[in-house]
Amino acid sequence: MNLSRIRDVLLPRPRRDYPLYENDELQMLRKATAFNSQLMDVLREHVRPGITTNELDRLAASYTRDHGHAAACLGYKGFPKSICTSINDVVCHGIPDDTVLQEGDIVNVDITTIVDGWYGDQSETFLVGEVSKEAKALTQVTFDALHVGIRAARPYCTIYDIAKAITRHAEARGYSVVRSYQGHGIGREFHQKPGVPHYPHESTQRSIIVPGCCFTIEPMINIGTPDIYIEPDGWTVRTKDHSLSAQFEHQIFMKADGPEILTLTKQGPQEGHCF
Ligand code: MF3
Ligand code: CO
Ligand code: CO
């Protein structure tokens, strides 16, 4: 054991390895996330039985372009569409195609926009028409888990604290938390530090969130196993046991007096909502 390792073990120090944003930068983040949330409200009206995920993608692409902004997902590491649409057992990164949304489906719509070089990122799971009570309960637990996580986010808390709150909420109700994908710092880049796992990972115990940090919380919760696989298209992530999976995502800015949810929508479910 070398000296710095001994010091680390005896004197665990908090770690901050991400950029902090100042007031003028917060204004830019607010502008980008406000546009992203507005787009979510536009798509909300169209998430109905009978629409294809390609049609949702085209609506998002044209609305974004018409406002002079850019869809962050389009071309990101080769992703072929402007948004992600993840139906039923798809955990995340579903590629819009000619699939028609059916009554009883649940679909996560994940949108990220670049406005003047700043990123806004959020997602919601929608109930398509009437869904099973299992699907509705999963969606409720996932939505509540996100808000429990946001409540746990305080100035100088750790990422571990947030993950513990989310995992306790989900597992106490018999659900599992996906481990292979996580939330992330965001701002001038799509994905930056800090990494935000939604399960308590030892490495995050000293990862503190200080005022000026901008990040996402985006838990993916499954009815069955937390294990996933990726389809041959290189993107679509599914649950290994094909059980249903849901996700909600907000982008958060940590202020000196607590978190500001940047991606609140006007029309969407608010904390405490009952599906
Ligand atoms: N929006 C996703 C996130 O929350 C990332 C999607 S990347 C893509 O981090 F390439 F699949 F679009
Ligand atoms: Co994200
Ligand atoms: Co996202």
Domain positions in the chain: 19-261
CB burial readout 62-94, b (16+ within 10 A) else e: ebbeeeebbbbbbeeeebebbbbbbbbbbbbbb
CATH code for residues 19-261: 3.90.230.10
Atom in ligand 1 nearest the alpha carbon of residue 181: 9
- Separation CA 144–CA 125 (nearest Å): 12
Q: Which of 76, 109, 122, 178 to mutate to test the pocket of ligand 1 (most atoms within 8 A of CB)?
A: 76
Q: Which of 57, 121, 123 to mutate to test the pocket of ligand 1 (most atoms within 8 A of CB)?
A: 121
Strand ranges in the chain using DSSP code E only, listed in sequence order: 70-71, 84-87, 90-92, 106-115, 118-127, 157-158, 176-177, 183-185, 192-196, 208-209, 214-217, 220-222, 228-230, 237-239, 245-247, 250-255, 258-261
Q: Are 89 and 224 in contact (CB under 8 A)?
A: no
Ligand 1 pocket residues where CB is under 6 Å: 73, 76-77, 79, 84, 93, 110, 112, 121, 218, 249
Tell me how far the alpha carbon of residue 5 lies from the centroid of ligand 3, in angstroms: 36
Structure confidence at residue 11 (pLDDT): 61
pTM of the predicted model as reported, rounded to 2 decimal places? 0.96
Going by CA atoms, what residue is nearest to atom 7 of ligand 1? 73
Structure confidence at residue 7 (pLDDT): 56
Structure confidence at residue 3 (pLDDT): 57
Tell me how far the alpha carbon of residue 76 lies from the centroid of ligand 1, in angstroms: 8
Tell me how far the alpha carbon of residue 196 lies from the centroid of ligand 1, in angstroms: 14
Q: Which of 77, 110, 181 to mutate to test the pocket of ligand 1 (most atoms within 8 A of CB)?
A: 110
Give the single-character DSSP code of 94: P
Atom in ligand 1 nearest the alpha carbon of residue 249: 4
Ligand nearest to the CA of 40: 3
Tell me how far the alpha carbon of residue 110 lies from the centroid of ligand 3, in angstroms: 5
Structure confidence at residue 14 (pLDDT): 85
Tell me how far the alpha carbon of residue 190 lies from the centroid of ligand 2, in angstroms: 8
Ranges of residues in the chain with a pLDDT under 70 are: 1-12
Structure confidence at residue 177 (pLDDT): 99
Tell me how far the alpha carbon of residue 37 lies from the centroid of ligand 1, in angstroms: 16
Residue where the block lists tokens 């950029």: 19
